[in-house]
């Protein structure tokens, strides 16, 4: 299984997981409070500087951002279709800055740290009887864990198409991708249960 | 180890995955063999409560597997694909993972992780990422992750599947050296050839329950039909 975590000793690596997650949440709020183009552009430059300082080679750093950035461009284009141009630019800059910082946090935080912090954050809600903190932490950790797995599966399915000379179409890729992902999810769930991680279940 | 199957079987609608079985298992090494889809894995999953019997019951060390929570403490399970067994990407994190949910303090977790790494001479794998490991190393990491919680019984589902000769030998020696009780599901007949007891499954039925030599002869006959 691959991981989005990148080993290193950058400033971001040295910051605690809790501080990074709180900073990410705060940045999200601040970015969405502002419509100042200059401020948002500066946020993009600053978060890009952080992201490209974590030790990832340039090409693979860009490759990681490609799918999310394409989605952001589509959102901005939709915004442009129905709103004045500056609204679309605001959306583009906000989401790009958020993506860059989130990518930096993900690349410098192990899944175990994610699970620990999210579990801790969810504890007060557990005390209110609303959820089980361990399950929330585990769920978030597994989402992060599965991202590279799903991308690998997608590449393997594309290669299988190419090997058989079949044109890649969304329908012929998505169906096997969903089936394989669900099968993987079942296997992981069985492994989690076999190790007694979700001990409240029976 | 004391495992009792009391008429335990599994059906999915009209399809019988495992016909009712009644037997008691308490040997140190037990092999399970059979063709693909013969019911071997279903039988093994009944032991740790991952699969619930449709009829009958399974008692492990005096506890009914209907209460999977209680049984999971006693039974460790290593799946066919160790890639799916490893939940967290870094080996040390993964080994610690099962302990955290059991409420151990950080210092206890660290000590137990170190102890299991030392026990299997696997300290060099601690900081490695699972996707960088060879097949044998992955099995070793999976073994550490499961045995760190101290189960009494270990079930290994096809532990030498997809391994080259060198890694196969490594896993075989590891399994032989375990002080824990082990139940090994395998197509690798050499792996179970010295076991005290081997069960043979065919089309959802237990068709032989005998010492290794006799059971393997039965399996070869089934496979040659």
Cα-Cα-Cα-Cα torsion A159, A161, A166, A171, nearest 10 degrees, comes to: -130
Radius of gyration of chain B (CA): 17
Mean pLDDT for A81-95 is: 94
CB contact under 8 A, A193 and B50: yes
Report ipTM (2 d.p.). Answer: 0.72
In angstroms and rounded to an integer, the radius of gyration of the C-alpha atoms of chain A is 19
Whole-angstrom distance, CA of residue B17 vs CA of residue B14: 9
Q: Which of A110, A134, A188 sits opposite B90 (nearest CB)?
A: A110
Handedness of CA A101, A103, A108, A114 (dihedral sign): positive
Beta-sheet pairing, B29-34 with B197-202: parallel
Do the Cβ atoms of A4 and A105 come closer than 8 Å?
no
- Higher pLDDT among residues B72 and A63, named by residue: A63
Q: Is the pLDDT of residue A200 over 60?
A: no
Confidence tier at A202 by pLDDT (50, 70, 90): very low
Q: What is the pLDDT of residue B1?
A: 85
Of B84, B98, B130, Cβ closest to residue A188: B84
User: Between chains, do A197 and B129 touch, taking CB under 8 Å as contact?
Assistant: no
How far apart are alpha carbons B214 and B1 in whole angstroms? 24
Q: What percent of chain A has pLDDT over 70?
A: 97
Min mean pLDDT across A13-22, A175-184, B106-115 is at A175-184
* Predicted pLDDT of residue B39: 94
The span from the CA of A128 to the CA of A113, in Å, is 24
Chains A–B, number of C-beta pairs less than 8 Å apart: 89
pLDDT at residue B115, as a whole number = 94
Surface of A (79-138) touching B: CB under 8 A: 110-112, 116, 134
Residue A71 clears pLDDT 90, i.e. is over it: yes
Summarised one tens digit per residue, pLDDT across range A114-158 is: 888 999 989 999 999 888 888 898 888 888 888 888 888 888 898
The distance of A69 to chain B (nearest Cα, Å) reads: 26
Report whether A159 contacts A142 (CB < 8 A): no
3-state DSSP call for residue B6?
strand
**Alpha-carbon distance B21 to B58, whole Å?**
10
User: Minimum mean pLDDT among A88-97, B91-100, B202-211: which range?
Assistant: B91-100
In the predicted structure, residue B194 carries a pLDDT above the cut 50:
yes
Torsion from C-alpha of A63, B84, B180, B135, nearest 10 degrees: -60
Strand partners, B184: B31, B156
Structure confidence at residue A199 (pLDDT): 55
């Amino acid at each position: 299984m691959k991981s989005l975590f990148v080993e290193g000793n950058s400033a971001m690596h040295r910051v605690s997981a809790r501080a990074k997650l709180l900073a990410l949440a705060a940045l999200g709020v601040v970015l969405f409070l502002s419509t100042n183009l200059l401020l948002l552009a500066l946020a993009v430059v600053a978060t890009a500087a952080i992201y490209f300082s974590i030790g990832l080679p340039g090409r693979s750093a860009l490759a990681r951002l490609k799918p999310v950035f394409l989605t952001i461009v589509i959102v901005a284009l939709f915004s442009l279709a129905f709103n004045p141009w500056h609204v679309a630019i605001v959306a583009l800059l906000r989401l790009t800055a958020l993506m860059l910082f989130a990518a930096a946090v993900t690349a410098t935080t192990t899944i175990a740290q994610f699970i620990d912090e999210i579990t801790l954050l969810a504890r007060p809600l557990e005390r209110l009887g609303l959820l089980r903190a361990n399950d929330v932490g585990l769920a978030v950790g597994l989402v992060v864990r599965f991202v590279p797995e799903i991308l690998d599966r997608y590449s393997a399915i594309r290669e299988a198409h190419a090997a058989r000379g079949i044109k890649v179409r969304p329908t012929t890729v998505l169906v096997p991708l969903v089936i394989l992902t669900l099968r993987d999810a079942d296997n992981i769930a069985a492994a989690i249960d076999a190790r007694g991680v979700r001990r409240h279940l029976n | 180890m004391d495992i009792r199957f009391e008429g335990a079987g599994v059906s999915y609608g009209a399809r019988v995955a495992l016909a009712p079985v009644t037997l008691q298992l308490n040997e140190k090494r037990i092999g399970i063999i059979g063709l693909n889809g013969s019911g071997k894995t279903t039988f093994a999953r009944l032991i740790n409560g991952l699969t619930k019997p449709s009829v009958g019951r399974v008692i492990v060390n005096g506890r009914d597997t209907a209460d999977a929570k209680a049984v999971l403490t006693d039974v460790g399970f290593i799946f066919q694909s160790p890639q799916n067994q490893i939940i967290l990407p870094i080996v040390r994190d993964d080994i610690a993972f099962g302990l955290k949910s059991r409420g151990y303090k950080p210092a206890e977790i660290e000590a137990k992780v170190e102890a299991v790494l030392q026990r299997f001479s696997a300290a060099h794998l601690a900081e490695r990422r699972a996707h960088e490991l060879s097949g044998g190393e992955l099995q070793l990491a999976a073994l550490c992750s499961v045995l760190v919680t101290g189960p009494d019984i270990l079930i290994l589902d096809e532990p030498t599947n997809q391994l080259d000769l060198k890694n196969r030998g490594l896993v075989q020696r590891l399994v032989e050296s375990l002080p824990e009780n082990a139940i090994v599901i395998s197509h690798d007949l050499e792996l179970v050839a010295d076991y005290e007891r081997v069960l043979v499954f065919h089309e959802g039925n237990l068709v032989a329950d005998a010492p290794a030599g006799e059971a393997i002869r039965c399996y070869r006959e089934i496979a040659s039909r």
